[in-house]
Amino acid sequence: MSDTHFHNIKDLPTTHLLGTGTAMCAGCGGLQALVDIYDVLGRDSVIVNAAGCMTLLSVYPFTPFRGSWLYTAMASAPAGAQGVRDGLDILIEKDRLSADEDLKVAVLTGDGAAYGMGLSATSGAIERGLDFLYICYDNEGYANTGHQSSAATPHGAHTATAVGAHGAPGFKKDLFSIWAAHNPAYVATVIAAEPVDLARKIETAAALKGPRLIISLAPCPPGWGFDPAKTVEVGQLAVETGVWPLKEFQNGRVTHNKPPRRRRPVEDYLILQDRFRHLFEPQRDEATLGEIQARVDAYWNGVD
């Protein structure tokens, strides 16, 4: 359970770095959030990484994580976390590991696993009261295989599998509420463009026991179609337009942390992304744009 079997990428010369195959897409909003999250978790942790974009961070025997890292299939990360947690508890019970040497167990997945393939295993882990932190980087599609639609794809967005005149016909699944319905220890939404809010929520989650979820909206330049230099701007607009509410659930209560005082029109966020360009060109799709705005308005009208 130590990092002795892994080489730390930061300690390697540049020539080795170029040969590890760990490069991520420029401007990745998920990686931006993960860097901040890992600053809080630190090396005394085990990252159970489901197949997805962040799997590319580690190519055996190299990993950028200073702690331990375990790869699993896309639907299996919560089961992997259960095995790791059980193993740690057995070692502590047998006095082969001191309580001071205990490690935090964290699952790392994309939205494909969190909202879809791994949801049943996750529900089971929450019901068992597994002591783990679940981190979802939500880029709203199966990004590492060409950005096909996932259960997190927003209404009207173009993906590799939703290319009709009006984009994806469905609506994004409410993972926050699904987790909250299980009454876990903690659930929160974050985004790297709001680093103070993100850091506070990670510190809160890290200090708790039991099932905890952090959902980070992860602006994806290649999948969403925007200049990587605009990742922070796109993230800030997601919050300012009300598309991505920053909120947390604890002790049976939902709290909104940064409600937009004067919400900007949703199209200020959409128009920066090629995946929504068909809603503006060659002519405006007023019906779809109006539907997207109406759903955001309805959400905030229902917030106390």
* Residue 116 included in any domain: yes
Provide the domain limits for residue 205.
7-301
* Residue 2 included in any domain: no
Q: Which of 24-28, 129-133, 137-141, 244-248 has the lowest mean pLDDT?
A: 24-28
* Residue 1 included in any domain: no
Rounded distance between C-alpha atoms, residue 66 and residue 85, angstroms: 19
Q: Is residue 11 very low, low, confident or very high in pLDDT (cuts 50, 70, 90)?
A: very low
* Residue 265 included in any domain: yes
pLDDT at 202: 96
CATH code of residue 223:
3.40.50.970
Q: Is residue 1 over pLDDT 80?
A: no
The percentage of residues in the chain with a pLDDT greater than 90, rounded to a whole number, is 85
* Residue 262 included in any domain: yes
The model carries a pTM of: 0.91
* Residue 72 included in any domain: yes
pLDDT at 176: 98
* Residue 30 included in any domain: yes
Instruction: Say whether the peptide bond before residue 245 is cis (omega within 30 degrees of 0).
Output: no
Are 59 and 65 in contact by the 8 Å Cβ rule? The answer is no
Q: What is the pLDDT of residues 157-208, one digit of tens each?
A: 999 999 989 999 999 999 999 999 999 999 999 999 999 999 999 999 999 9
Q: Which of 10-24, 60-74, 254-268 has the lowest mean pLDDT?
A: 10-24
Q: How many domains does the chain have?
A: 1
Q: What is the pLDDT of residues 226-249, one digit of tens each?
A: 999 999 999 999 999 999 999 999
